[in-house]
Chains A and B, each alone.
Chain A
Amino acid sequence: MVTVEFFGLYRLNYHMKSIEVEASTVKELFQKIYEVNPFYTVKELKHSIVIVNDVNFNDLKKYRTPLKDGDRVLIMSPASGG
């Protein structure tokens, strides 16, 4: 299982703090999240800040980043600065 935590406006808007899902890639993870909570559209998730085990997914293989059991993923709404 992959543990996913949400931060930023996504969390406030969609009322989801964290979930555990099975997924082998970030792309698949987005789809699973959408199935659990349809507020999180895949399109929106693609524009979010995604951190896989403390590394931004842009520095990995982005949507093709492999995931395995025990991985931790953080998803933050895009406007995360301030």
Chain B
Amino acid sequence: MSISYGAYAGKVLKIDLTSQTVSDYPVGDEDLKLFLGGKILAARILNDFIKGPLDPLGEENVMVVSSGPLNATGCPSSSRFNVSAVSPLTGLLTSSNCGGSFGCTLKRAGIDALVITGKSPYWVYIDIDADGVKFKDAESLRGKGTSETQEAIGGKGSKLVIGPAGEHLVRYACAVSDERAAGRGGIGAVMGSKNLKAVVVTGRKNPAVYDAEKLRKIKAKWTKRLKSHPLTGEQLPRLGTAALIASMQQKRLLATKNFTDGRFSGYASISGEELAEKFLVRNKGCISCPIRCARVVEVDGKPVKGPEVEIMGLMGANILNDDLGQIIKWNYEMDELGMDTISASGTIAFAMELNEKGMWDSGLEFGKTDNISDVLKEIAFRSSERGDKLAQGSRKLSEEFGGEDFCIQVKGMELSAYEPRGAVGQGLGYSVANRGGCHLNAGYEVVVEGLGLTINPYTVHGKAEIAVMFQNLMEAVSAGGNCLFTTYAFFPFFLFKRPNSMLSKTVNKALPYLGGPLHVINKYPHLAHIHLTSMLPHTKALSAATGMKITMGDLMRIGARGFNLERTINARLGISAKDDKLPKRLTDCEQVPGDPRTKVPQAKLKKNFYFARGWDSDGMVKPKTAKYYSIDALDDIGARPVSGAEHVVVK
């Protein structure tokens, strides 16, 4: 097997920590054509290893770090890489996307992906450079925060590290590259369970692309489009994702008091505008990103990464806190400790409600903020009984103390800050997403249900079909190595610049009723044998970079293949329709008392979704669906013959 497509480095390395050996993992052209890269290629590789339920913190769990073909090509917003494994939080496949430099440098080191197996007998970090792979003692790095670890390792390489939370197996610990996190699903704990403190890679040579001149022209037009779009050219650079807080408030989408409400009286104090006016030092972007949505703020006089909308909602409205300064500080602390801000915040809010209801006295109370920093440290180091329990995540807490109906998680993963009773399509997405209660893997339908477009947020019409389409597109765009914000340019300018125009209102009214046509395109993506160059240049960029012929239909098909493969793997891990469910608070209780529209009609939405996906009534991928997407008879890549030079392990 070999890789001949452009833009790929041409090599996937398998690193076994138990034996400290390195070998080629013989991924070939056909795999890349079908699974592209990133999270989808990772799912393809993990398909070889996951045969049934396994201990996510056991030696048998396998971690895949994968780049996308557009990493290190200079395409706009194309530095995103992926880390996948079985999640300690959900017990299911998780894929965690990160904007740090690691993915690009991995490609420059001549490697497309790392398959990390086994468990080191002592704390190590892996150091990969032109000389080979080194396993270095990491004992001196133990206990260090994520930035401190990166500084201590030093050198010019890109790092992927864990903090104390990962070392102590906090089920929602993250891995960090530069200051960006592979946040969701507990990847940090997987690394910790392998005694792997960090992976360092050094490389300087960009991979050759198929048609450099063509790609150069595409990149120029693409960058221009992103810079001129109202969202990616103005809103995100100026206000960041936090711009959404005010809109979320108005649309009843701002999760408040552990999702008992969608509006928070103190929202103005935790808004993106407040962040920009009082705290913003400057904005910042990932490598090759013209959008630059990241915020730089100061904590104790030091410039650090600012908060995103999710933590501003979840550590603000959701715990009845209107002190943005505190949120900024906690965000920094969680990044340093190495834990996912969404799951940590959701778990804390659930503990607050347990305490309020007299079910578990943790000392955590809604509106009380003076003990949060201490609690975060206790979680990361598991240094108290309280911290130890919170480190397990909200689902484990509910198994011990009750409160399942108001434990705001799906499949063990805590929901993001979007209250789904104000956008039922987003509620559907949360309930069926492969990695659990993740707003992005859900399809992020809320963006058309009030945060951008304004289709009817309460109707079931078209919601399943829109969710499927968005999920597929986002899977594929992510697999290519792009930031999902590049898909915003898909929406025509006038919808954002002229929201009160008759045309905008007509589009918003009509979209839910286009479920039929969307269903046909979703089901037969090969019919979309077109490019939408100005709206989604990804297809042309991927074609020019790799030499593959990728149309819109191909892109959607790759995305659908990824989503269905992830579901197939999750089915092996024990998932079925019974697990695709929101907590009862969101499906049985009206957000606005007396307004029956304001709860998620889950049964109807799920039925529509399974039909749209080609799944059976138990949520299983039907054989003919699997066959259509060529995932019905996948071989074991690892069992293929390996050719090529042996790898140097430097002791």
A46 and B500 contacting across the interface, CB-CB below 8 Å: yes
A9 and B235 contacting across the interface, CB-CB below 8 Å: yes
B243 beta carbon closer than 8 Å to chain A: yes
From known contacts A74-B246, A80-B246, infer whether A7 and B273 are also in contact, taking CB-CB under 8 Å.
Answer: yes
Question: Which residue, B451, B498, B499, B501, has most C-beta atoms of chain A within 10 A?
Answer: B499
From known contacts A8-B235, A12-B239, A12-B277, infer whether A82 and B451 are also in contact, taking CB-CB under 8 Å.
Answer: yes
What does the 1/0 interface line of A1-41 toward B look like (CB < 8 Å)? 00001011101100001000000000000000000000000
- State which residues 271-286 of B face A: CB under 8 Å: 271, 273, 276-277
- Classify the secondary structure of A's interface with B: mixed
Considering the chains assembled together, what is the distance between the CA atoms of A54 and B497 in angstroms? 21
B505 beta carbon closer than 8 Å to chain A: yes
Considering the chains assembled together, what is the distance between the CA atoms of A79 and B447 in angstroms? 12
**In the complex, chain A residues whose CB is within 8 Å of the CB of B246:** 7-8, 74, 76, 80
Question: Which residue, A51, A76, A80, has most C-beta atoms of chain B within 10 A?
Answer: A80
A80 and B451 contacting across the interface, CB-CB below 8 Å: yes
From known contacts A8-B235, A51-B250, infer whether A82 and B273 are also in contact, taking CB-CB under 8 Å.
Answer: no
**In the complex, chain A residues whose CB is within 8 Å of the CB of B497:** 47, 78-79
B219 beta carbon closer than 8 Å to chain A: no
B525–chain A nearest beta-carbon distance, Å: 26
**In the complex, chain B residues whose CB is within 8 Å of the CB of A42:** none
B250 and A54 contacting across the interface, CB-CB below 8 Å: yes
Considering the chains assembled together, what is the distance between the CA atoms of A62 and B236 in angstroms? 28
**In the complex, chain B residues whose CB is within 8 Å of the CB of A74:** 246, 250
From known contacts A12-B277, A47-B499, A78-B499, infer whether A7 and B271 are also in contact, taking CB-CB under 8 Å.
Answer: yes
Q: Which of A50, A56, A82 is close to B243, meaning CB atoms less than 8 Å apart?
A: A82
Q: Which residue of A lies closest to B446 (CB)?
A: A81
B505 and A79 contacting across the interface, CB-CB below 8 Å: no
B552 beta carbon closer than 8 Å to chain A: no
What does the 1/0 interface line of B464-501 toward A look like (CB < 8 Å)? 00000000000000000000010010000000111111
A8 and B452 contacting across the interface, CB-CB below 8 Å: no
Q: Which of A8, A47, A49, A54 is close to B273, meaning CB atoms less than 8 Å apart?
A: A8
B250 and A78 contacting across the interface, CB-CB below 8 Å: no
B276 and A12 contacting across the interface, CB-CB below 8 Å: yes
**In the complex, chain A residues whose CB is within 8 Å of the CB of B250:** 51, 54, 56, 74, 76
B238 beta carbon closer than 8 Å to chain A: yes
A9 and B234 contacting across the interface, CB-CB below 8 Å: yes
Q: Which residue of B lies closest to A57 (CB)?
A: B500
B453 beta carbon closer than 8 Å to chain A: yes
A58 and B498 contacting across the interface, CB-CB below 8 Å: no
**In the complex, chain A residues whose CB is within 8 Å of the CB of B238:** 9, 12
From known contacts A9-B235, A12-B276, infer whether A81 and B451 are also in contact, taking CB-CB under 8 Å.
Answer: yes
Question: Which residue, A62, A74, A81, has most C-beta atoms of chain B within 10 A?
Answer: A81
**In the complex, chain A residues whose CB is within 8 Å of the CB of B505:** 58
Q: Which residue of B lies closest to A13 (CB)?
A: B238
**In the complex, chain B residues whose CB is within 8 Å of the CB of A17:** 273
From known contacts A7-B273, A8-B273, A47-B498, infer whether A81 and B268 are also in contact, taking CB-CB under 8 Å.
Answer: no
**In the complex, chain A residues whose CB is within 8 Å of the CB of B447:** 81-82
B21 beta carbon closer than 8 Å to chain A: no
Considering the chains assembled together, what is the distance between the CA atoms of A12 and B243 in angstroms? 11
- State which residues 228-250 of B face A: CB under 8 Å: 230-231, 234-236, 238-239, 241, 243-244, 246-247, 250
Considering the chains assembled together, what is the distance between the CA atoms of A18 and B180 in angstroms? 35
**In the complex, chain B residues whose CB is within 8 Å of the CB of A81:** 231, 235, 244, 247, 447, 451-453, 488, 496
A53–chain B nearest beta-carbon distance, Å: 11
Considering the chains assembled together, what is the distance between the CA atoms of A41 and B229 in angstroms? 22
**In the complex, chain B residues whose CB is within 8 Å of the CB of A77:** 235
What does the 1/0 interface line of A55-82 toward B look like (CB < 8 Å)? 0101000100000000000101111111
**In the complex, chain A residues whose CB is within 8 Å of the CB of B501:** 47
Question: Which residue, A46, A54, A76, A82, has most C-beta atoms of chain B within 10 A?
Answer: A82
Considering the chains assembled together, what is the distance between the CA atoms of A7 and B453 in angstroms? 17
**In the complex, chain B residues whose CB is within 8 Å of the CB of A82:** 231, 235-236, 239, 241, 243-244, 447, 451-452, 485, 488
Question: Which residue, B238, B246, B454, has most C-beta atoms of chain A within 10 A?
Answer: B246
A17–chain B nearest beta-carbon distance, Å: 8
**In the complex, chain A residues whose CB is within 8 Å of the CB of B276:** 12
Considering the chains assembled together, what is the distance between the CA atoms of A82 and B483 in angstroms? 13
Residue pairs across A and B with Cβ atoms less than 8 A apart, 23 shown, are A7-B273, A8-B235, A8-B239, A8-B246, A9-B235, A9-B238, A11-B273, A46-B500, A47-B500, A74-B246, A76-B246, A76-B247, A77-B235, A78-B230, A79-B231, A79-B234, A80-B247, A80-B451, A81-B231, A81-B451, A82-B235, A82-B485, A82-B488
User: What 6 new A-B contacts, CB under 8 Å, besides A9-B234, A79-B497, A81-B452?
Assistant: A8-B246, A78-B499, A79-B496, A81-B247, A82-B239, A82-B485
Listed from nearest, the 10 A-B pairs whose CB atoms lie closest are A81-B452, A79-B230, A7-B246, A79-B496, A81-B451, A79-B235, A80-B247, A78-B499, A11-B273, A82-B243
